Chains A and B, each alone.
Chain A
Amino acid sequence: MTVNGSRWSGDVPARQTLCDFLRDELELTGTHVGCEQGACGACTILGDGEAVRSCLMLAVQADGMELTTIEGMGEPGNLSTLQAAFLRHRAFQCGFCTPGFLASAAEILGSGRRYSRRELRDMLSGNVCRCTGYEPIVEAVFECQR
């Protein structure tokens, strides 16, 4: 598989989830696990450009996929447009859910389509944020569509 542009190959235990693989084997600890049951979206990453939950995928299922985690989306000195918008709108507080939101938002922006704020709220509802009440997140994504 390819993770953030780097090739990786090797064996993984069948029962290892993709998020555990990323965190424990590749030490990409920016991907967080919030609920383990596919209900909170904190572990969302991009798999072949689509937002996928890394807690509801086995690592072995990602064989051959191109994955992008938060570590592949920008660096503190070199933020992506989306990250800069999150920063401007303060679209996070504790930051635990943020990597997942960035992945979901990246897929939305990748579609090239423009959505209303209301539509964005629907589309971002696979991610839970307990701190912000969502408004600044919606605003940040909305702004990046323009």
Chain B
Amino acid sequence: MLGAPVQRAEDPALITGTATFTEDLTPAGTLYLAILRSPLPHARINSIDTTLAMSSPGVWAVYTGADVADFVIPPAPNPKRNIPRRFALAQDRVLMPGDPVAAVVADSLAEAIDALEQIDVDYQPLDILGDLDEALVAPPLHEGQESNVAYDRAKGDWEAISAMDGVVVEGVVEHPRVAPAPMEGRLAIAQWADGVLTLRITTQAPHLIAEELARCLDLPNSSIRVITGFVGGSFGSKFDLAEEEMLTVFGSRQLGRPVKWVEGRREHLLTVGHGRSMRARYRLVADEEGRIKAYAADWLVDLGCRHRYLSFNTITPRMGTGTYDIASYAWRLRGVWTNRNPRGIYRGAGRPEATLTIERAMDHLAAELNLDPAEIRRRNFISPDQFPYQSVAGYTYDSGNYGFNLEALLEAAGYAELRKEQAEARAEGRVIGIGIASYVEVCGFEDWGAARVVVAPDGSVTVLVETLDQGQGHRTAFAQIVSARLGIPMNMIRVEQGDTSTSPYGWGTSGSRSLAQTGSATQTAADGVAEKAKRIAAHRLEASPGDIDLANGLATVRGTDVTISWKEIASIAYTGEVPPGDEPGLEEEVRLRSQGHNFPFGAHLAVVEVDPETGSVRLERMVAVDDAGVIVNPMLADGQRHGGLAQGVGQALWEGVRYDESGNLTTATFVDYLLPAATGLPFFELLETETPTATNPLGAKGIGEAGAIGSTPAVVNAVCDALGCQDLQVPLTPEQIWRAIRSNRE
């Protein structure tokens, strides 16, 4: 069962329109909330007149900043970390385009939106902070802070690296903002009864939402129940609590009615936590043979105007050295406030920034030394005998075999042949590029997972988990694990998630942790159940538990045909005679800590053709060799890889959040924010290597984000390879490429 491409139990519902997404629910008496958003990126609010809106048809309430001044969205302000307070509605200033200014609750969404237009706000525009370098020196956005630098961290001897002799390459790598843009936006339905809040919300982490709300409302966790149905994709955007959910909860409590908020797509693109949002400067020093002597990277993070969950995270510099054995490393990471929406989490969350930076630097170095990009990597990989590898940046890489993985990629892609074809095409005036990228990432944050395996008296099994499947197929993967451990068919197993009143407490789905952490906890819980089931069977069959095998829905005394069915065992557990020393029942809850982080890795190769006249790029091939350790369900794993690749390619070629000179968002619809479509993507060629991890009992590593980490640098390197230049930035717009071609010719 493990390792098989088993289909998902929930699929028939999803394919027939019978699966219930949160938006499909409308409790009796539901009122609708709509939010008035700032048309300006930075302004003082002189006054707000809500009189007309209050008398607009269907309106129940209009809220402004003063109404919600008592509720601060976590994390709590911390002067030491320069965290400003975050409210559900602007207090006296708006700090970003789309900042929530007022909220209307009405009988229908149409009436709520109509009433928004009746609110009169007098704004006094203020200077904006858009460009990162300008923000570094501009007057502080937040009162009481000395500058716009929220934090400034550094490690390593920058000066020594600056003075170091050798072959030196330096450059800038931009990581512009991108929008997670799941097909389903955010939304929430809040309902209060007897002092208990029930929040139906589309999220990745129900318990985290409940906890944040409890802190915000000063309520015990037990008074908050968060329920999540089917989720239409997240990619990081539905992890932490935001203003809108808080307003929904507030409105519902004030009015004593269910209140529903559904994010519009324009609202999503304006206010969702954008990913990436960095500028990197690198310096790579090597000897004449291309062996790296030192690496230095300076990352400037555009935090936007307020903090969110990972605003202060240091994954990027800590993964900065990638798959290479680098002895001398210096990094600096500065978070800078700007008049943009808070930077948030998006697939990869910190690792794509690290990878794109060093993989560009490696290609730059290869070009400088006139070495093949594959060769420069070979000469610098951490070798297999160095694992567990203590990176200079502070992480312990659990396992890896980077050279083997890269060779597998080159062979699968027919690399030598490709280079030949490239040369021939060039002779015909066609511009072809080949790009490779090697990546290693880190998974297994929040280092434990939780699962409960409950066997009913009839033998059917419910698995309750803290993670939240949004399409990945956890329900199937976890059921496969339980099926393999208990020796019972998949159709006897049901995986439940997304209700904080029943599922064990945990961190939810993020950072590619679900299978490695919670899958492992599920396996260990199933093992606990299996052990007890064996004891019960042995007791009944007068055998030793060590001689019992569980398979095919039976417990069999090894080497005999003496059996008892799984159903009988379950029945005995609740109504029969359990062995001495055991209590009745058959269930197990496990919180399992992993032994450190796991480090999935791989290598991606892209082939592009550039139209030299227009600068337009066509991605012809995308080959990926990923290593996520033990694969539980290859069909599900490939799904994750495909989706990640498409998003990584999207970031390389099309996706980019853009603002105009006055700081307003210009990519506010999907007509302007360009998502990958079927027509622009090639068929993905996938292979895998398998280097298990010892950090968890499954031997599995994260696979959710890998595709988005390696593909972007592979595509960028391919286009740089085609053009023979080193300073292209994502997204690789036709104009940028056309300009590069033109300056090459001059």
**Interface of A with B (CB < 8 Å)?**
13, 15, 23, 28-32, 34-37, 39-40, 42, 69-71, 73-77, 79, 83, 86-88, 90, 92-99, 102, 117, 120-122, 124-125, 127-138
Contact = CB atoms under 8 A, between A and B. Distances in A.
Contacts of B676: 133-134
Contacts of A128: 183, 670, 675, 677
B506 interface: no
Interface in B470-526: 470-473
Given A76-B16, A87-B15, A135 B642 contact: yes
B349 interface: no
A125 B679 contact: yes
B7 interface: yes
B688 interface: no
A98 B14 contact: yes
Contacts of A79: 12, 15-16
Contacts of B264: 36
A125 B231 contact: no
23 contacts: A29-B17, A29-B23, A29-B24, A36-B264, A39-B671, A40-B670, A70-B16, A76-B12, A77-B12, A79-B15, A92-B15, A93-B472, A93-B639, A94-B470, A95-B15, A96-B184, A96-B233, A98-B14, A120-B678, A122-B679, A128-B183, A128-B677, A130-B675
B110 A39 contact: no
Contacts of B230: 94-95
Contacts of A34: 183-184, 265, 670
B574 interface: no
Contact of B21 (A32, A39, A137): A32
B14 A95 contact: yes
A133 B17 contact: no
B16 A71 contact: yes
Contact of A39 (B17, B669, B681): B669
Contact of B671 (A37, A93, A129, A133): A37
B232 A32 contact: yes
Interface in B457-476: 470-473
A76 B183 contact: no
B181 A130 contact: yes
Interface centre among A88, A121, A137 (most CB of B within 10 A): A121
B643 interface: yes
A93 B643 contact: yes
Contacts of B19: 95
A15 to B, nearest CB: 7
Interface in B266-284: 266
A132 B7 CA distance: 15
A94 B17 contact: no
A111 B647 CA distance: 32
Contacts of A13: 110
Contacts of A129: 183, 678
A42 B642 CA distance: 20
A83 B15 contact: yes
B639 A121 contact: no
Nearest to B14: A95
B231 A94 contact: yes
B18 interface: yes
A96 B183 contact: yes
Interface in B215-233: 230-233
B16 A73 contact: yes
A138 B646 CA distance: 14
Contacts, number: 171
A29 to B, nearest CB: 4
A54 B18 CA distance: 18
Contacts of A42: 183
Interface string B642-658: 11011100000000000
A109 to B, nearest CB: 16
Contact of B670 (A35, A102, A132): A35
B684 interface: yes
B18 A76 contact: yes
Contacts of B14: 92, 94-95, 98
B28 interface: no
B635 interface: yes
A71 B18 CA distance: 8
B231 A133 contact: no
Interface string B201-239: 000000000000000000000000000001111010000
A100 to B, nearest CB: 9
B13 interface: yes
B643 A75 contact: no
Given A79-B16, A95-B471, 16 more contacts: A28-B17, A29-B17, A30-B17, A36-B264, A36-B266, A37-B671, A75-B18, A92-B15, A93-B472, A93-B473, A96-B182, A128-B670, A128-B677, A130-B182, A130-B646, A132-B642
Contacts of B473: 93
Contacts of B683: 117, 135
Interface string B1-28: 0000001100111111111110110000
A99 B13 CA distance: 11
Q: Which of A36, A88, A99, A131 has the most B CB atoms < 10 Å from its CB?
A: A131
A86 B219 CA distance: 45
A86 to B, nearest CB: 6
B183 A130 contact: yes
A88 B678 CA distance: 19
Contact of B233 (A30, A76, A130, A137): A130
A126 B292 CA distance: 47
Q: Which 10 A-B pairs have the closest CB atoms?
A: A30-B17, A96-B232, A95-B14, A94-B471, A93-B471, A70-B17, A133-B646, A133-B642, A39-B670, A29-B24
Nearest to B347: A130
Given A36-B265, A90-B635, A132 B643 contact: yes
B265 A134 contact: no
A90 B16 contact: no
Contacts of A131: 183, 233, 471, 639, 643
